């Protein structure tokens, strides 16, 4: 809303208040509170109607401004109901509640609080453009409007309900977000079951209590009053004494309220994604990755835990769905000119299904495209990339790992590159090393952003293993070759707890020399999480929080240990980003990301480490890494 709209709103409210106060004849705070809320609602409605009808650029569909204003008005009504229940239990604002309780006499504070919470929940659903939330609001206000006309209860409630019905009717095309059909049907079934059970329980209880207290109650009176209890939560006052009566009526209220709330939650669930990936889709994705994949990370898009979104322009996005979050592995893979259209199509597809589109481990290549589509950008850390041509074992900077490389070479250790299709005996030996590693680190196999040890997949990977002089495997990594970039990298990395000291330095030094001999230009050591984030002077608050976690979060992950191990090889640093819709959804997005990466049976507590994990790498004293404004390191 611009300044002119706010000024227009203020003028309307002042004119409304002056007119009412002149009519009343005296100024009272009670009168001010009574009339300012409907005046505000009418003003916002008129401004929204202006956005809908008179602004040319909003002729096709309702504008976002009008939707936001509608959400604001319904949220105000919800907050008012909560205030009425807990803070302002006054009886002179009946027209603002817009609940069925107002049609049957004095409403209970419990009913007002519940209706306020429901209106706030539905307002949030309307903000998400949920079709179900829009339909429920239309139905609720429509029923109130009709019953108010029939009963002639309150003209102000009738007017406000009518305004909201018209307003929501115009907003119909903007509310296109689906709910899961199965959950929708199960929610309706559950609600019907709860209501039938509540009516049966209520009628049976009242007849028994009538006999106990010698009250004569006919069938239809009991049925009508029980129906009012479970729909409007009004107090029938059929039997006015006894602790048993209070306990019984409270039980009916709690059961029916729980039924309504649970059903409301069920029908507003996002679409549950259960699509099976066909072999044709996997072959298609493999072909696109082979043609347009960039670095070693693009190979992770072909893992079995990925689903695929294909664009008409020949691009693919590898993703998974956790709750309301659709998490991708990196950027779209495909032609450069198709990137913006693919991102937008994926965003719209996620929006229709009530998912939050989130791009994990995105590269700097498409940051402008993301920003143009309204996404926020957060740096997750930096990849460590070794340029192989200048790599050398000479000089003081290479002193530490040169000594370990020479020592283990003289002792008879060797690094052997095992081509795909190696023997089953080696697979079992690698499994033994992997299991020992997981026990040592008190960890589980991760998913989605990281590879896991799968015997059916590992046999098709290129493996580099450290063998002792007797031939035993004590450490290994898998090797992933890039496509458009002449790069090779690693993802799965394991060693035995009793491995020779310096075995990992020996392994990587050998790999750098081997990869250079094979003609590769760079070696990707993977992401150092939160490394270099939030250290610049112009860092935002979120980045500073990430930096604090990096500096002090060793109780659940050894950020510095991982970074220190990679820094000793003097890498070139490349930023990777988390692309997300907005700050409001950041917390559920991070929780969804954790669930996607965590092991199958791993809880959040175990993922973040109830006990401190052992360091994965030797933690040597090395110069502090400082981020430059360009995102590289010095």
> What is the structure's pLDDT at 239?
59
Instruction: Please compute the mean of the pLDDT values over residues 562-567 and round it to a whole number.
Output: 85
Percentage of the residues of the chain whose pLDDT score is greater than 90: 30
With a pLDDT cut of 70, the percent of the chain lying above it is: 76
144-148, 511-515, 536-540: range with lowest mean pLDDT: 144-148
Question: To 5 degrees, how large is the angle CA 603–CA 608–CA 612?
Answer: 120
Higher pLDDT, 13 or 451: 451
Mean pLDDT of 303-328: 93
Query: Mean per-residue pLDDT for 377-382?
Result: 92
Q: Is the pLDDT of residue 580 over 60?
A: yes
pLDDT digits (tens, 9 = 90+) for 541-557: 888 888 888 888 766 67
The answer to whether 253 touches 229, Cβ cutoff 8 Å, is yes
Q: What is the mean predicted confidence (pLDDT) over 419-434?
A: 89
- Residues 390-420 have pLDDT tens digits of 988 888 878 888 889 999 999 999 999 999 8
With beta carbons less than 8 A apart as the criterion, state whether 189 and 271 touch.
Answer: no
Write down the pLDDT at residue 192.
86
β-strand pairing of 325-329 with 473-481: unpaired
Question: SS3 helix, strand, coil % of the chain, rounded to 5?
Answer: 55, 15, 30
- Residue 484's pLDDT band, with cuts at 50, 70 and 90, is confident
Whole-angstrom Cα distance, residue 164 to residue 619? 63
Q: Do residues 368 and 345 make contact, with C-beta atoms less than 8 angstroms apart?
A: no
**What distance in Å separates the CA atoms of residue 455 and residue 504, rounded to the nearest whole number?**
23
Q: Is the pLDDT of residue 321 over 90?
A: yes
- Lowest-pLDDT choice from 146-150, 352-356, 378-382, 397-401: 146-150
Residue 84 in 3-state DSSP? Answer: helix
At residue 374, does pLDDT exceed 60? yes
- Distance from C-alpha of 607 to C-alpha of 218, rounded to nearest angstrom: 60
The answer to whether the CB of 93 falls within 8 A of the CB of 76 is no
Give the pLDDT of residue 606.
Answer: 64
Where are the strands (E) in 514-632, listed by range?
522-529, 572-580
- Regarding predicted confidence, which is higher, 281 or 235? 281
- Which pLDDT belongs to residue 153? 57
Q: Is the pLDDT of residue 532 over 60?
A: yes
Show the beta-strand stretches assigned E in 263-375. Answer: 307-310, 316-322, 325-329, 356-362
Give the pLDDT of residue 312.
94
User: Where does the pLDDT of residue 518 fall: very low under 50, low under 70, confident under 90, or very high at 90 and above?
Assistant: very high
**Bridge pairing between strands 522-529 and 325-329:** unpaired
Confidence label for 372 from pLDDT (cuts 50, 70 and 90): very high
pLDDT digits (tens, 9 = 90+) for 17-42: 454 444 444 444 444 444 444 555 45
What are the start-end ranges of the H helices in 553-585?
559-567
**What is the C-alpha separation between 389 and 520, in angstroms, rounded?**
9
Q: What are phi and psi of 499, to 5 degrees?
A: -65, 155
| CA 329 from centre of chain | 15
Q: Strand, coil or helix: what is 502? A: coil
DSSP conformation class of 93 = -
Per the model's pLDDT, the better-predicted residue between 388 and 53 turns out to be 388
State which of 118-122, 467-471, 535-539, 540-544 shows the largest mean pLDDT.
Answer: 467-471
Q: Is the dihedral of CA 23, 27, 28, 30 positive or negative?
A: positive
| β-strands 356-362, 325-329 pairing | parallel
572 has a pLDDT exceeding 60: yes
Distance CA 475, CA 495 (A): 4
Beta strands 487-495; 414-418: pairing state: unpaired
pLDDT at 607: 64
When pLDDT is cut at 50, 70 and 90, the band that residue 468 belongs to is very high
Asked which of 6-20, 169-183, 194-208, 438-452 is least confident by mean pLDDT, the reply is: 6-20
Eight-class DSSP state of 271? P
- Per-residue pLDDT, averaged over 579-596, amounts to 88
CA-CA distances (angstroms) from residue 593 to 57, 331, 346, 587? 38, 16, 18, 10
How far is it, in rounded angstroms, from Cα 104 to Cα 148? Answer: 11
DSSP 3-state of 523: strand
Q: Is the pLDDT of residue 146 over 60?
A: yes
Whether the Cβ atoms of residue 94 and residue 159 lie closer than 8 Å to each other: no
What is the rounded average pLDDT for all residues in the chain? 79
Does the pLDDT value for residue 80 go beyond 50? Answer: yes
Distance in angstroms (rounded) separating the CA atoms of residues 385 and 88 = 62
Mean of pLDDT values over 555-584: 86
Q: Supply the pLDDT for residue 243.
A: 61
Question: Rounded CA gap, 316 and 338, in Å?
Answer: 10
Q: Is the pLDDT of residue 103 over 70?
A: no
Q: CA torsion sign, 343 to 346 to 348 to 350?
A: negative
pLDDT-derived band at 164 (thresholds 50, 70, 90) equals confident
Do 460 and 421 touch, CB atoms closer than 8 A?
yes
Phi, psi of 202 (to 5 degrees): -65, -45
CA–CA distance, 443 with 152 (Å, rounded to integer) = 67
Q: Where are the alpha helices (DSSP H) in 553-628?
A: 559-567, 586-597, 604-607
Confidence band (pLDDT; 50, 70, 90) for 55?
Answer: very low
In three-state form (DSSP H/G/I as H, E/B as E, the rest C), the secondary structure along 4-46 is: HHHHHHHHHHHHHHHHHHHHHCCCCHHHHHHHHHHHHHHHHHH
Helix (H, G, I), strand (E, B) or coil at 332: coil
Q: Is it the case that residue 620 has pLDDT exceeding 70? A: no
Residue 342 main-chain phi, psi, to 5 deg: -65, -45
Q: What per-residue confidence (pLDDT) applies to 232?
A: 66
């Amino acid at each position: 809303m611009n300044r002119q709209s706010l000024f227009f709103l203020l003028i309307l409210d002042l004119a409304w208040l002056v007119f009412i106060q002149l009519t009343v004849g005296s100024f009272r705070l009670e009168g001010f509170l009574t009339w300012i809320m409907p005046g505000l609602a009418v003003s916002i409605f008129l401004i929204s109607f202006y956005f809908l009808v008179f602004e040319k650029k909003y002729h096709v569909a309702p504008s976002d401004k009008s939707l936001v204003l509608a959400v604001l008005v319904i949220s105000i009504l919800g907050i008012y109901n909560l205030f009425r229940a807990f803070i302002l239990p006054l009886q002179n604002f009946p027209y603002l509640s817009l609940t069925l309780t107002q049609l049957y006499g004095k409403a209970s504070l419990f009913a007002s609080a519940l209706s306020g919470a429901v209106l706030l929940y539905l307002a949030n659903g309307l903000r998400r453009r949920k079709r179900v939330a829009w339909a429920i609001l239309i139905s609720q206000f429509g029923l109130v409007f009709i019953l108010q006309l029939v009963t002639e209860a309150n003209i102000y409630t009738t007017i406000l309900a009518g305004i909201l019905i018209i307003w929501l009717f115009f907003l119909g095309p903007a509310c296109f977000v689906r709910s899961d059909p199965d959950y929708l049907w199960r929610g309706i079934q559950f609600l019907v079951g709860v209501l039938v059970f509540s009516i049966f329980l209520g009628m049976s209880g009242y007849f028994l209590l009538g006999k106990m207290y010698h009250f004569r109650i006919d069938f239809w009176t009991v049925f009508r009053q029980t129906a009012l209890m479970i729909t409007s939560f009004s107090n029938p006052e059929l039997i006015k004494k006894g602790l048993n009566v209070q306990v019984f009526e409270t039980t009916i209220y709690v059961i029916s309220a729980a039924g309504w709330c649970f059903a409301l939650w069920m029908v507003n669930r996002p679409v549950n994604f259960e699509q099976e990936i066909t072999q044709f889709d996997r072959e298609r994705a493999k072909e696109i990755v082979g043609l347009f994949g960039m670095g070693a990370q693009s190979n992770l898009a072909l893992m079995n835990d990925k689903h695929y979104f294909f664009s008409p322009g020949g691009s693919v996005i590898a993703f998974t769905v956790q709750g309301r979050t659709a998490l991708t592995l990196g950027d779209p893979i495909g032609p450069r000119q198709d990137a913006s259209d693919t991102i937008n199509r994926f965003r719209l597809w996620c929006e229709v299904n009530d998912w939050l589109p989130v791009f994990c481990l995105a590269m700097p290549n498409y940051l402008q495209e993301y920003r143009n589509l309204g996404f926020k950008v957060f740096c997750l850390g930096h990849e460590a990339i070794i340029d192989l041509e200048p790599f050398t074992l000479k000089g003081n900077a290479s002193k530490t790992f040169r000594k370990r490389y020479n020592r283990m070479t003289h002792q008879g250790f060797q690094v052997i590159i095992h081509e795909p299709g190696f023997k089953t005996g080696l697979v079992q030996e690698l499994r033994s090393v992997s299991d020992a590693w997981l026990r040592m680190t008190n960890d589980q196999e991760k998913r989605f952003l990281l590879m896991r040890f799968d015997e059916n997949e590992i046999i098709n990977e290129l493996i580099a293993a450290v063998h002792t002089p007797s031939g035993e495997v004590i450490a290994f990594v898998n090797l992933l070759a890039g496509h458009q970039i002449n790069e090779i990298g690693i993802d799965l990395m394991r060693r035995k707890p009793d491995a020779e000291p310096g075995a990992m330095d020996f392994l990587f030094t050998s790999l750098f020399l081997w990869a250079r001999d094979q003609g590769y230009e760079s070696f990707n050591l993977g992401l150092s999480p939160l490394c270099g984030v939030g250290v610049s002077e112009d860092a935002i608050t979120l980045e500073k929080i990430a930096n604090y976690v990096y500096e002090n979060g060793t109780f659940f992950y050894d950020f510095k240990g991982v970074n220190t191990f990679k820094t000793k090889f003097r890498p070139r640093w490349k930023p990777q980003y988390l692309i997300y819709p907005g700050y409001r959804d950041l917390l559920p997005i991070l929780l969804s990301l954790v669930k996607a990466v965590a092991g199958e049976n791993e809880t959040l507590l175990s993922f973040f480490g109830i006990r401190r994990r052992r360091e994965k790498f030797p933690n040597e004293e090395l110069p502090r890494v400082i981020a430059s404004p360009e995102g590289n390191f010095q």
